Chains A and B, each alone.
Chain A
Amino acid sequence: MVRFTLATDDPVLHDFAALVGSEGAVAVAGSRTRWSVGGELASGTRTISAPVGIVQHQPEEMIVTVRAGTTVADLHDELAAAGQRTALPQRGGTVGGAVAVGENCLDRLGRGSVRDAVLQVRFVNAHGQLVTGGGPVVKNVTGFNVPKLITGSLGTLGCIAEVILRTNPTPPKSRWLKADGAEPKKVFAALLHPAAVLWDGTTTWVHLEGHEADVDAETAMLASLGDFATCDGPPDLPAHRWRLSPSQIFRQCVSAPFVASVGVGTTWASVAQPKRPLDRGASVVAKRMKDTFDQDHRFNPGRCLWT
């Protein structure tokens, strides 16, 4: 029988698998822009780098195949030349780091989530073998969703080598606006597809994207909700990221200065979010997941996603 498996013969990925090997504690370092997420890496852990390079961008398929060590900036530069972009955050770092941490970008409402963008992942398992999950097309329900599991797993289940990401066309027009005293809930409700609505308790920022005429129409509509004026971009974000639901940002969960993403929940604050326990049932499954994917807890020791 003819087989068309997703197996790769890219020697660069196989070299990476050999580098990960099958023994000893190991962690992949990207640009270390989110190095503290999940705790401190155990001392004595070998750190390695993931392979670099954009393998193939297919704008008409809305996908790009990219090795994990490539910087997001380099990827987005290449995609921009074809009028496209991804959901990965612009803040820097590598593609593999962004996928491993799984944080969405500020324009999450416009660009979508990182988890929904990862169509296929190749990673090295604890036995040093290259594994492929997902597939190279925009719609796929073949088998269990390994890409979802790996995305945001903080490198604790495998070492990401290469991903295929969904790309999207960059809208023709982008405009940031802000107003003091506007009611953020009303602003969010009035807009069809804002790229972002941010609020710091006083000021509301809006990022509109789309056809210029639509952006103009929504800009005009916003005048009825506040004294909106164009601005250069989002405010400076405080250092700590809080994972909240959209309703929690209105319940004064954060006492320190903050900037919250309205309709999303994610909030940046000057103090760290207190730790909270994972749902008990989910933590049982999560621990089994870690144990079955990485029996000897080789990967990224010291880092943990739950308390």
Chain B
Amino acid sequence: MITELRDALGASHVRDDAATLLLHAHDSSVFEGGVSGPVCYPVDTAQVQAVVRIAAAHGRSIVPRGAGTGLAGGAIPLGAPIVVSTGRMTQILEVDEVNMVAWVEPGVINLDLTKHLRPMGFHYAPDPSSQQVCTIGGNVANNSGGPHCLAYGVTDAHVLAIEVVLSDGSIAVLGGLEDEPDGYDLRGAFVGSEGMLGIATRIAVRLTKNPPAVATLLLAYDAVADAANTVSAVIAAGVVPAAMEVMDQRITIAVENFVGAGYPRDAAAVLLVEVEGLSSGVAIDAAQIEAIGLANGATNVRTAATALERELLWKGRKTAFGAIAQLAPDYYLHDTVVPRAKLAEVLQQIYEIADRYDLTIMNVFHAGDGNLHPLIVFDGRDEGVLDRVHAAGAEIVAASLAAGGVLSGEHGVGVEKQPYMDQMFGPNDLKAQERLRKAFDPYCRQNPGKVIPSAHSCADIQALKAVPKGIWG
């Protein structure tokens, strides 16, 4: 098989040395790695097809991989699959201003695309915290979000069409540049499918016009609940900012030590709000948000006076996960969504859960969407700590579901949330998801063993068993 792959891609673009396999056994999550088969670096659609056909002929499964920044274990290879890296498919193919789309290859880095578009008056709206390294293909696989998705929507609102290589090596073009493409919305089904329906090889993403006016507000509070309640009150008042992010004191101090973003160290929580649009409306919305903040207990409200100050405030938010490295060597970043009105209540429960398990927890999250990101920091070398981390995680998930929430807002299910899927969905619901998947990939060869619990997905077990003995990861 290796020979066939090398014949198809060129010898240097198929790797099976120990270091490469080890590197590709993990993503950025805390989950135990899998076992990677050969790692392939195709350069175009035809080479992706060739790899997929070779895999099919040898009964091997396939795992596509972008930058490996996933936090739910979605890219962890189970059952020694061939890993298809999009690392050499990095071209921005076309910017089409009439159709308001850019055609890109899946390995294009999110921030590189926005940097390319900005001088033309556009940007790519979804902005995950990992946007400096994560890829558009990975964003499509995970239906990624980001702070500015509150007003603009997550990835699936920004992907119009996708060229996909299916698990039999055939090509399908899903969606189109029409507003309502013909047929079922297979594009919508594909976005967020965690690499389980096929491999995206070309993606048409929507261009968003750069707003002429932006206001960034930093509100400080003596209690996290006050910040959370401000968020609910802003939405209830009919204002939908571009972004509303909350950070608690622990993370704020860590960020200040790391990049000096200008956050107050003495506040129990800060709320970062951004409004965008035309100048008059931005001023009206900013004034209203300030008033709502003060009415909900804000002790201080500051508006970024310069572009530099604004950038620094965002730099603090976006480097939050890097900042915590000074506190402990490991972290587990959770991702659940609750109704906004329940934010304060669920946050309180999360702090109590962490106390009960003797863990350090901090919160930095997309409050505007109700998207919680409890962050547990720990030292993996401590005996038994990972068990406590996972036990606390299970309780956080249960508290979020009990509040009327869902398992994941943007990180996906992967292997992380798979054991919880039947806490949220009933057997018939999961069966419908499995049907959707099998319409794309009848033999479950694409990224098997993820998302749908194995009890509801017999074919996964077959796909995972069809590997040489002893190689199971």
Contacts and interface: CB of A to CB of B under 8 A. Distances in A.
A58 B404 CA distance: 13
A290 to B, nearest CB: 8
Given A130-B428, A153-B184, A4 B339 contact: no
Nearest to A132: B429
A217 interface: yes
| A104, A125, A144 — most chain B CB neighbours (10 Å) | A144
Interface stretch (B31-39, B234-242, B306-314): B234-242
Contacts of B406: 135-137, 140, 142
A286 to B, nearest CB: 5
A30 B326 CA distance: 60
Interface residues of B, number: 96
A223 B25 CA distance: 60
Nearest to A119: B406
B410 A282 contact: no
Interface string B257-293: 0000000000000000000011111001100000000
A4 B436 contact: no
A21 interface: no
B387 interface: no
A214 B281 contact: yes
B50 interface: no
Interface in A134-159: 135-146, 148-149, 151-153, 157
Contacts of B212: 192
Interface in A237-263: 243-247, 250, 261, 263
A247 B411 CA distance: 35
Interface in A53-68: 58-62
B370 interface: yes
Given A60-B340, A144-B433, A250-B98, A281 B177 contact: no
B153 A136 contact: no
Contacts of B430: 143
B182 A192 contact: no
A211 B178 contact: no
Contact of B96 (A83, A115, A247): A247
Interface in B369-400: 369-371, 398
- The SS class assigned to the A binding surface is loop
A189 B439 CA distance: 40
A225 interface: no
A132 B409 contact: no
Interface string B134-167: 0000000011010001000110110000001010
A115 B185 contact: yes
Contact of B401 (A4, A83, A285): A4
Given A250-B98, A279-B173, A141 B409 contact: yes
A293 B433 CA distance: 10
Nearest to B177: A245
Given A213-B281, A282-B186, A292 B439 contact: yes
B182 A306 contact: yes
| B170, B192, B209, B429 — most chain A CB neighbours (10 Å) | B429
Contact of A2 (B100, B176, B402): B402
A125 B432 contact: yes
B426 A168 contact: no
Interface of A: 1-7, 58-62, 83-84, 102-104, 108, 112-113, 115-116, 125, 129-133, 135-146, 148-149, 151-153, 157, 168-170, 185, 189, 192-193, 210-211, 213-214, 217-218, 243-247, 250, 261, 263-266, 276, 278-286, 288-289, 292-293, 305-306
Interface of B: 96-100, 142-143, 145, 149, 153-154, 156-157, 164, 166, 170-174, 176-186, 188-189, 191-193, 209, 211-212, 232, 235-236, 238-240, 277-281, 284-285, 337-341, 366, 369-371, 398, 401-402, 404-413, 417, 421-426, 428-433, 435-440, 442, 451-452
Given A281-B166, A288-B440, 15 more contacts: A60-B341, A62-B240, A102-B180, A131-B429, A131-B432, A135-B406, A140-B406, A144-B433, A152-B184, A193-B209, A211-B285, A243-B179, A266-B180, A281-B171, A286-B186
